[in-house]
Amino acid sequence: MECPILIMIITQTQEGKALTLRLEGRLDALTAPELQKELIPLFEAHSEIVLDFAELTYVSSAGLRVLLMGQKAATSKKAVFTLVNVLPQVMEVFKMTGFSGILNTR
């Protein structure tokens, strides 16, 4: 029996002006504090942050809370905050919760 991934891997890369954080795994109650600790301070030094969700398979309410905090931090710093490569099951969560109208996705 295969064990599910219970961690999230965050990889940072600089692409032009944008700092990209590639997330792999699950964004849930166990991993959301890790993303919050890494993401929120980045808005002090970067005017454009991209979260690449190509390998992010799940988002819980705790994860949504961190994404909302990121959006608020971006707005307060007049920064661009974008989510890219959002998988259909994660986009469905955004749509059901109304976050698709709050978060900038492409």
Q: What is the pLDDT of residue 7?
A: 80
Does any domain span residue 100?
yes
% of the chain residues with pLDDT over 70: 94
pTM of the full structure? 0.92
**Domain assignment of residue 43, yes or no:** yes
Return the CATH number at 101: 3.30.750.24
Answer whether residue 75 is part of any domain.
Answer: yes
Residue 53 tokens read as 């969700």
Tell me, yes or no, whether 15 lies in a domain: yes
| Neighbour count for residue 19 (Cβ, 10 Å) | 17
User: For the segment 35-83, what is each residue's pLDDT rounded down to a tens digit?
Assistant: 999 999 999 999 999 999 999 999 999 999 999 999 999 999 999 999 9
**Token digits of residue 68:** 């909302």
State how many domains the chain has: 1
End-to-end CA distance of the chain: 35
In which domain, by residue range, is 38 found? 9-105
